[in-house]
Copies of this chain bind each other. A is one copy, B any other.
Amino acid sequence: MAASIKDVAREAGVSIATVSRVLNNVDVVNEDTKKKVQEAIKKLGYRPNIVARSLKTQKTKTIGILVPDISNQFYPEVVRGAEDVANIYDYNIILCNSDSDLDKEKEYIRVLKEKMVDGMLYMSSSLDKEILNLIDEVEIKTVLVETKIAGEKYPSVTIDNKKAAYDATKYLLDKGNQKVAFIGLKKDKNNATSQRYSGYEKALKDAGKEVDLGLVYFGDLKAADGYNGINVILENQEIDAVFCASDEIAMGAINALRDKGLSCPEDVDVMGFNDSYAASIFYPKITTVAQPMYDMGSVGMRMLIKIVNNKPLDEDQYTLQYYLVERDSVKK
């Protein structure tokens, strides 16, 4: 067993209370006593037992992070941003992969409660009312990342997905493209990613165009969906451009185009979303809407740590800036 506070006290010839005081830089401990204690600590290689401290203080200095799947393209960077900030303030993170499964999420939240995390960063493809209720019930301080509940009490950090998609679609339209297709998720009011379709719709309408469902393909966010989407859409008509709700879709779409003898951007403009690392390596390099993934994590964690320490928040609902990265998959 490692040395405990008792050992240090004995070694230094003081009481454990005094050792605790120097550990926490609290009260005015006599300089000499302090020195003695510090020497004893060093000699024994003593490190406080944080579990014991946590039980007493009711603070664990650990934060739970719930993500759908860390092996998904989006989350590693968010988590990295979050962990970096956590680390600065001496917090650690417990990482949980929920697969966006409601039961798994609920179980993780309960376990996080049992482990007395000081707070939680919650990410999910959708936002179920049951989860929100559970969060209230277990009283874990929580910041929502990627999704938000408009006008509700839950602090959040998001980007404006609808507006981003609007801008992306408009960009394609402004290039003179007539038939602009869409491949992505179906509309669903609680799902951040699916709001991209709304932005697409609005951009078309504002440009005086009808949404032609023959130009729209709903699937998941994978490359395969982009590939299939192009094949399905092209069965009925030609297109000038396609806005994809993820970079992976965009890459799949470009591959499908190429397999049909069409090239990007010469024949069809393709726009992605996220600016994942692969988007910058792909050929052609993907023009895309960059989400500040690292920042979403770090800002979220910063907010959470403030909340945990009862500090006031500058803002409750952070909306971070996306930006359009112009590369080679859309004509200049």
Query: Main secondary structure on chain A at its contact with chain B?
Result: helix
Copy number in the complex reads: 2
A139 contacts which chain B residues (CB < 8 A)? Answer: 2
**Cα A62 to Cα B282 with chains together (Å):** 39
Are the CB atoms of B55 and A51 closer together than 8 Å?
yes
> Is B55 within 8 A of A52, CB to CB?
yes
A255–B70 Cα gap in the complex (Å)? 28
A231 within 8 A of partner (CB): no
Contact at B281–A255, with CB atoms within 8 Å?
yes
Q: Is there contact, CB below 8 Å, between A116 and B76?
A: no
Shortest C-beta distance, A72 to chain B (Å), equals: 8
Which A residues between 239 and 286 are near B, CB-CB below 8 angstroms? Answer: 248, 251-252, 254-255, 258, 277-278, 280-283
Assuming the A-B contacts A2-B113, A252-B281, are A83 and B55 also in contact, with contact meaning beta carbons closer than 8 angstroms in the complex? no
CB neighbours of A255 from chain B (8 A): 281, 283
Q: Size of chain A's interface in residues, with CB distance under 8 A?
A: 54
Residue pair B47, A248 in contact (C-beta under 8 Å): no
**A-B residue pairs in contact (CB < 8 Å), sample of 13:** A47-B110, A48-B114, A51-B55, A69-B80, A70-B70, A80-B97, A83-B96, A83-B97, A84-B97, A87-B97, A92-B115, A258-B283, A282-B283
